[in-house]
Structure 1
Amino acid sequence: MVSASSLEDRVKAEDPDRALCAQFLPRGMREDVFILLAFHNEVTRALAPARSSAVVGPMAGYVRLQWWRDVLEGTRPPEHEIAPLMLGALERGVFQYSTVLGILDARETELAPEQDVTHWSGMMLKGSGGLQRAVGEALAVQDPTLLDRLSACGAAYGAGAMLRHWPVLQKSGRYIFPGSPEGLQNVAKTWLEQSDNTQSVPRPYQVAFLPAVLARRDVGRGIQSAGMARGVMDRLAVMAAGLKA
């Protein structure tokens, strides 16, 4: 079984933004959140084109995602180094099954894209949004309104990342926003407003909203930052907010 330290190092390499935000979580739940992030990276990797000529196109992605669904539902052995760790976290009630299965739903939606903003928004709220909602669940957030705000926070971060990588994503075949970058900015701004309304966030839960720091910066810059590496000022902004929280 993969060690906690090697898993954390892997997530830092593959998803440095979310890994940085996770560093400010209480130590007792940090390991579970890194398991969640590693799981998210695996199911996202399932969308990559099949290397085998026997299974090609979207069907290859469906097969891989169904494998994970079967594992989580207990109908298939967890024959992947991340799978037993993720199952353990679910069995301990760290994350809700419905939230994690929603992340799988989002990735399946990406395999059957529709040029419709509502369809795309639903995918983002379950995918990137669901990931942040699960972080809130690890922090024992139970207020449905607060969990919805975390979903909006995660979706806003995902939209901001889409703006930063817009030219690359356009060529990748991934399901990107069905409209202009300006339209994507507007949707992301709405999600930021939903995640950061006048209702205060209890102090123990503020660290779950750290991705909104990066979202605000990415969305504010819009397409102008496309293709640029993540700047040190972005990371310092997260660190300052994390220390304050």
Structure 2
Amino acid sequence: MGVSRRTAHAHIGAVSLSPIGAFARSHDPDRFLCALFAPAERREPLFALIAYNHELARAREATSNPMAALIRLQWWRDAVEEARAGRPPRRHEVAGPLQEQVAAGALDADALIDLADAREAETEEGGFAVEQEFVTWLRGTAGGWSAVAGRALGADAAAAEVLRGLGAAYGLAGVLGSVVAHAAQGRCLLPLDRLAAAGLRAEEVIAEPQGSPVAGVVRALAQEGLTALAGARRDVTPAFIAAALPAVLARRDLRQLARAGRVAGRGVGDRFAVSWAGIRQKL
């Protein structure tokens, strides 16, 4: 069962965290808050999944070149395979808890490897040539996280695919809100065909990420994301609500991006929106 209205606020504030829970809270507070609305016995797998996803996401950001990023992703694939084989975990603060959850059957090894595979697209220096490649990447990464989280909460394959679409919207909001940060790293993750339609090249986005032409592309993609999110099936089973809650933040962020081309930092309103949806068990 989910979190009751009576106990939700005390539950959120007083939860005792394991080391991997504390890691998840520190490195991905959005998904950590969402995970608190999972049944108590299902939270540890979600915390491990959040931490694993963080390590995959930073593979490219923490390295100086694509090859180094690929090596980091392979390191995590090997760690998952070793967990599946029942071998001792690697010496890493995330590898140990991840191994425990794979060994317990709470997280599926194949699905975890798929998450790592999806991240390889980020290592390609040419970026996403067409929008469909961009969408596939979003569905495999942020969408993949929501799908795997849903399966960990007991969702069947069909429900997991619904969650994948909702998670992809959160990923889209994250990319659109990070254009400036990516430009500072010399990267542009916006689809090149959409940039070309606006008379832009990736190099121009990197050089002037806050220019009005870039903001126009961001606003257009955000509006399309909002439209897709509004049309998505959102009658998520209460038991899986924790995996769907990132869509609450996606909707709020995409609205800001569609209006202003940028998103403000997280605030009380965001946390309240997630908490209220979690308490109601409804998006």
Q: Normalized against structure 1, the TM-score is what?
A: 0.86
The answer to whether 1:147 aligns with 2:160 is yes
Conserved in 2, the CA contact under 8 Å of 1:49 and 1:60? no
Conserved in 1, the CA contact under 8 Å of 2:59 and 2:69? yes
Larger Rg: 2
Structure-to-structure mapping, 1:22-41, within 5 angstroms: 22-41=35-54
What secondary structure, in the 3-state scheme, does the structure 2 residue paired with 1:73 have? helix
Query: Which ranges of structure 2 fall in alignment gaps of 5 or more residues?
Result: 1-15, 195-216
- Corresponding residue for 1:238? 274
Q: Distance in 2 between matches of 1:98 and 1:183?
A: 35
The answer to whether 1:69 aligns with 2:69 is no
Deviations 1:29-61 (A, max 9, x none): 1111111111111122221353xxxxx511110
Q: Distance in 2 between matches of 1:94 and 1:187?
A: 35
Deviations 1:127-169 (A, max 9, x none): 1011111110111111x22111111111101111223333222
What displacement does 1:103 show? 1.1
Q: Which letter maps to 2:245? A: L
Conserved in 2, the CA contact under 8 Å of 1:103 and 1:131? yes
In the alignment, which of 245, 249, 252 is matched to residue 210 of structure 1?
Answer: 245
- Corresponding residue for 1:127? 141
Identity %: 34
Q: Which moved more, 1:86-95 or 1:221-230?
A: 221-230
What displacement does 1:186 show? 4.2
Conserved in 2, the CA contact under 8 Å of 1:166 and 1:226? no
Query: Which ranges of structure 1 fall in alignment gaps of 5 or more residues?
Result: 51-55
Cα distance, 1:152–1:194 mapped onto 2, change above 3 Å: farther
Q: Distance in 1 between matches of 2:72 and 2:26?
A: 23
Q: Which letter maps to 1:176? A: L
Q: Which moved more, 1:219-228 or 1:149-158?
A: 219-228
In the alignment, which of 254, 263, 272 is matched to residue 219 of structure 1?
Answer: 254
What displacement does 1:227 show? 5.4
Conserved in 2, the CA contact under 8 Å of 1:103 and 1:130? yes
What displacement does 1:190 show? 5.1
The answer to whether 1:15 aligns with 2:28 is yes
In the alignment, which of 64, 86, 91 is matched to residue 98 of structure 2?
Answer: 86
Q: Which letter maps to 1:27? A: A
Q: Normalized against structure 2, the TM-score is what?
A: 0.75
In the alignment, which of 191, 215, 218 is matched to residue 181 of structure 1?
Answer: 218
Q: Which letter maps to 1:206? A: I
